[in-house]
Amino acid sequence: MTPFQLANFIEAGLWITLGGGFLLAAIFKPAARSACVGTAVALIAFGISDIVETSTGAWWRPWWLLMWKATCIIALILQLIQ
């Protein structure tokens, strides 16, 4: 495993763990459920994209990985401004 791959796996673990925290918040804080679920899905999807990135070697290629990551970032920004 290269340092690049290791760093991406660590980063993926961070995003997925944060997403799991938002899922727990959605369970225990019903008032914020929809915002927490949306944020959790975006963070977990972003973490999974980092796992995919370990095999592609870059976040911008192939094109669909770039779009995947951009979609996650847009979703997170939208959660922030709501």
In single-letter form, the type of residue at position 54 comes to: T
The pLDDT, as a whole number, for residue 47 is 98
Q: Where are the beta strands (DSSP E) in 1-82?
A: none
Residues in the chain: 82
Domain coverage including residue 19? 3-81
Q: What is the largest CA-CA distance in the chain?
A: 43
**pLDDT tens digits, the chain, 82 residues: what are they?**
999 999 999 999 999 999 999 999 999 998 888 889 999 999 999 999 999 999 999 999 999 999 999 999 999 999 999 8
Number of domains in the chain: 1
Gyration radius (Cα) of the chain, Å: 14
